[in-house]
Structure 1
Amino acid sequence: MSRFIVGKHFTGILLLIATLGATQAVAADSQATLESLKNKALNDDLSYQIVESLTTEVGARLVGTPAEKRSVEWAVNKMKSLGFDKVWVEESEAQLWQRGDLSASIASPFAHPVAALALGNSVGTQGKTLTAEVVEFADLAALQAAPEGSLEGKIAFVAYKMARHKDGHGYGEAVGARVVGASEAAKKGAVAFIMRSVGTDTNRFAHTGVSRYADGVKKIPAVAISNPDADLLQNTLKRGKPVSFSLTMSASGPTGKTTTIANVIGEVTGASKAAELVTLGAHLDSWDVGTGAIDDGIGVGITLAAGHYISQLQPRPARTLRVILFAAEEIGLYGAKDYVQKHQDEMSQHVIGAEWDFGNGAIYELEPGINEAALPAMREFAESLAPLGVSMANSNTAKGQSDMSALGEAGQPAVNFNPDGSDYFDYHHTRNDTLDKVDKQALKTNTAIYTMFGFFATSTSTDFRPRPAS
């Protein structure tokens, strides 16, 4: 009897050892694949070539323009050429935009032409030149605190200068004036609103971006001027004399018409759990200034290259990798919102997602937003990124960048890869957002990281989704 028990236990131990060995072999295979994908991306320039193709063959991609339509065709053809199994477009409607003409200058006491861009949604000056005295405010809060009627017939100028930070948080501190400044100025009686560009550069390029008018408040022209010109205007105001500013402009923004937009979607089909989706995203549209290389050509290059590398694997990972190039992000996340609406019945199958829509430097942090039970697996994956200079954040609250935030709000777990964005706002929404600004070496590193993440998330058995309530 005792000999039987010992033998039974010994057999069980052998089975346990065999099972552990198999698990380790799988882990070793996965690690080997991660290393192979990393080395491939680090020694390849595919993502850069994709950005070069997009910026050269299409260029600026404002919603409703012929170039934006070409970008959809370009993306479909590019995905097919890169080995995606399924490629399709999902159309919806958005407002048709236009950029009007603009001439801006300091009129007196010292005349200077000014580099400026109308903010998105801005009304024009109805074919006339608007000239009025300038009143300076340190920031949006100072403008909001101005007495009612104190700006009658004048132009409000918010001079706040965005601070440069690695994580780009200075943007959040500065962008409020861009979004609501015109309406706040109009409430005080102003006839126009100008502001220092939301940017960190010293170039004579203005930064555009969306502004929004409050309901029931008079719409007045809204313009951003370059940082050097904001300095010039401030120096002029310091002389203690009245300073006047002139604007001649037509409306920039919605035309009152609609246009067809399209998300472009490509999949690398999973081998055994094809219904479970891992998403990588970027937005395909851009502002009409520059060529949209950094915002968001980089994201397009990274996600398409990652999809290509994973499509070459044999065997394929278990889950499906879905790359989504979203439409109309710049004017209000229209493509992302439409995606959630169209896919609401399958959102529970979205296992995890990540987007690239910020930064030009190398990723330094992985920030998760997943089921807490999945954190150990994510930490283990993060260890494979450590040689690339990436650490894992202590927080677990990521919802996804930009478009992916809409999917995050709809229940998709997310990972945010946080890159060095120190120079991002030098080029953001300017004529200077061009291919030569792309950090090629950082792009290779970031492509490697997204590719490794794509493989990890599609091949692991870990479920990142919230656990059902018991």
Structure 2
Amino acid sequence: MLRLRPLALALLLPCAPVLAANKPTAIAAADLETAAHLRDQALQDDTAYDFVAGITTEIGARLAGGPNDEKAREWTIAKFHALGFDKVWTEPVTYPKWVRRSEHGEILAPYAQPLALVALGYSAATPAGGLEAEVVGFPTLDALKAADPATLQGKIVFVGARMQAYRDGHDYGIGSAVRTGGPAIASHKGAAAFLLRSAGTDSNRLPHTGVTNFTGATPIPAAALSAPDADLLERMLASGKPVTIRLALDCGIEGQYTGANVIAELRGSKKPDEYFVMGGHLDSWDPGTGAIDDAAGVAIATGAAKVIAGLPKRPARSIRVVAFANEESGLFGGKSYAETHKATIGKAVLGSESDAGADRIWKITASVKPAARDAIAQIAAVLQPLGIEYDAKEPGNGGSDLSAVHAVGMAAVSLHQDATRYFDWHHTANDTLDKIDPQQLRQNVAAYAVTAYLAAQADGDFGSKPGAWANEHE
């Protein structure tokens, strides 16, 4: 018998875990065939559309902490039970309760005109009776940053930066930066209030709301103008005549509110404690009914899980669907989920969230360990007939709420939706069911069904572990 000396044995033993970690993750040919059948079945399934139609009709707008918040949770819990999930539960999420009561704006001089505007989340109220002040305009956020504070004391700041429509929606980086950061900058410089051209790509006279961030600043009244009204204001400012606006915003924070993430699960057949996680956020802004943002996201994940549940045998790992609480005002649901599950994040084998409407998915990207890249390519090959391309060089953060979960260590896949139309309706009264194309919605469901099933069946993991992606963007 060959006997190893203790030193030689000690040198060999650490190799086993290393070899296991580097073992390529792979997907069996039979599972790829099953996924192709799931894909084709999902293209004929209307579970997702029925979900969106139901919640937008029976509940409507779902402002976080608002009157429909609890109603939406109870509706979703009942729907998950009715669809046959093995387990349904909630996890509490606490956040500031911001309320909107009324809003009004008008130009007083040089030419009287009413304004179509909407208060931003976390905006302060105007004084009783409203606020009247001269307007100072800026074309960009950088121009506001460079402004002399002495010129803004007691004034209303307006930033007119414009967004253009793109398939990847990248101009939202411009609009959201103005909306989230502009009011605090204006406050620091002594402004009385803040207005922006809506963060959107439409020309409708419907303003886009959204959250702002006053961390470290005194909250001031802040609102978004519809695109035509922003054009009107810019024309008046260009005339060189002083422009005065009256604002009356009745809104503000009323303490704390505790909502919840709603979670449903199909239990896996071999590794039930490991899971693929997908979903969307249950809350919405209040002008519309939150169809594309983001009832569609929860619906897509629900529809995908329902198709998988119809298989003769459950996949090896569990399939988890999360309807996240209060994404709109600061990713509260995602951050809470990440904090609750960070110690066991390795159990979340892979995840992806839908939060860009319901138009076609056109690209897949991923952040996984190198040994799992081939498995992602296998998934992408099954998605290719849906018109989805694979960009192996671009990372994937998993989507809005799941970006927080990815940050604590979950391997992530991103299924990128065509956002060309999305920012026409985003955060407006036009976010309604008629904007959803059932055929494109089914394509989304098919993509998520394939991805979830194959990740749940994969031989090997995708690299989830605490802190796995801490250096991803360095």
| TM value normalised by structure 1 | 0.91
Contact 2:32–2:454 (CA under 8 A) maintained in structure 1: no
Q: Distance in 1 between matches of 2:82 and 2:32?
A: 28
* RMSD, aligned α-carbons: 1.7
Q: Is 1:440 paired with 2:438?
A: yes
Q: Distance in 1 between matches of 2:40 and 2:102?
A: 48
Shift of 1:342: 2.0
Change (3 A) 1:353 1:408: same
- SS of equivalent residue, structure 1 residue 103: strand
Shift of 1:95: 1.7
Change (3 A) 1:468 1:339: closer
Counterpart residue number, 1:219:
219
Shift of 1:187: 2.9
1:31-430 matches, cutoff 5 A: 31-215=32-216, 217-252=217-252, 254-255=253-254, 257-430=255-428
* Unaligned segments of structure 1, at least 5 residues: 1-25
Radius of gyration: which is bigger? Answer: 1
- SS of equivalent residue, structure 2 residue 68: helix
Counterpart residue number, 1:3:
none
Where do 4+ consecutive residues of structure 1 move more than 3 Å? 466-469
Contact 1:127–1:249 (CA under 8 A) maintained in structure 2: no
Q: Is 1:459 paired with 2:457?
A: yes
Counterpart residue number, 1:12:
none
Deviations 1:405-440 (A, max 9, x none): 111011000000011100111111111110011122
Counterpart residue number, 1:11:
none
Q: Distance in 2 between matches of 1:382 and 1:68?
A: 37
Shift of 1:467: 8.4
Q: Distance in 1 between matches of 2:239 and 2:233?
A: 10
Q: Distance in 2 between matches of 1:362 and 1:56?
A: 24
More displaced 10-residue stretch of structure 1: 390-399 or 275-284:
390-399
Q: Distance in 2 between matches of 1:462 and 1:118?
A: 49
Contact 1:318–1:459 (CA under 8 A) maintained in structure 2: yes
Change (3 A) 1:112 1:414: same
- SS of equivalent residue, structure 1 residue 418: strand
Q: Distance in 2 between matches of 1:276 and 1:308?
A: 19
Q: Distance in 1 between matches of 2:395 and 2:103?
A: 42
- SS of equivalent residue, structure 2 residue 452: helix
Shift of 1:159: 0.6
Q: Distance in 1 between matches of 2:465 and 2:59?
A: 44
- Partner amino acid, structure 2, of 1:48: Y
Q: Distance in 2 between matches of 1:342 and 1:187?
A: 35
Contact 1:357–1:401 (CA under 8 A) maintained in structure 2: yes
Q: Distance in 1 between matches of 2:127 and 2:97?
A: 20
Counterpart residue number, 1:21:
none
| TM value normalised by structure 2 | 0.90
Q: Distance in 1 between matches of 2:344 and 2:366?
A: 22
More displaced 10-residue stretch of structure 1: 430-439 or 26-35:
26-35
Q: Distance in 2 between matches of 1:343 and 1:138?
A: 43
Shift of 1:66: 2.5
Shift of 1:197: 0.4
Q: Distance in 1 between matches of 2:54 and 2:336?
A: 27
Contact 1:377–1:462 (CA under 8 A) maintained in structure 2: no
Q: Distance in 1 between matches of 2:465 and 2:193?
A: 52
Q: Distance in 2 between matches of 1:270 and 1:384?
A: 22
- SS of equivalent residue, structure 2 residue 101: coil
Shift of 1:468: 11
Q: Distance in 1 between matches of 2:465 and 2:264?
A: 28
Shift of 1:169: 0.7
Shift of 1:449: 0.5
Q: Distance in 2 between matches of 1:400 and 1:285?
A: 19
Q: Distance in 2 between matches of 1:132 and 1:102?
A: 16
Change (3 A) 1:218 1:325: closer
Contact 2:408–2:466 (CA under 8 A) maintained in structure 1: no
Change (3 A) 1:286 1:464: same
* Unaligned segments of structure 2, at least 5 residues: 1-26, 468-474
Deviations 1:263-316 (A, max 9, x none): 111111100111111101211111122000000011011011111111111111
Deviations 1:79-114 (A, max 9, x none): 111121111111232222211311101111111111
Change (3 A) 1:341 1:466: closer
Contact 1:91–1:262 (CA under 8 A) maintained in structure 2: yes
- Partner amino acid, structure 1, of 2:320: R
Change (3 A) 1:268 1:95: same
- Partner amino acid, structure 2, of 1:136: G
Q: Distance in 2 between matches of 1:412 and 1:396?
A: 17
- Partner amino acid, structure 1, of 2:220: I
- SS of equivalent residue, structure 1 residue 251: strand
Alignment length (residue pairs): 441
Change (3 A) 1:212 1:28: closer
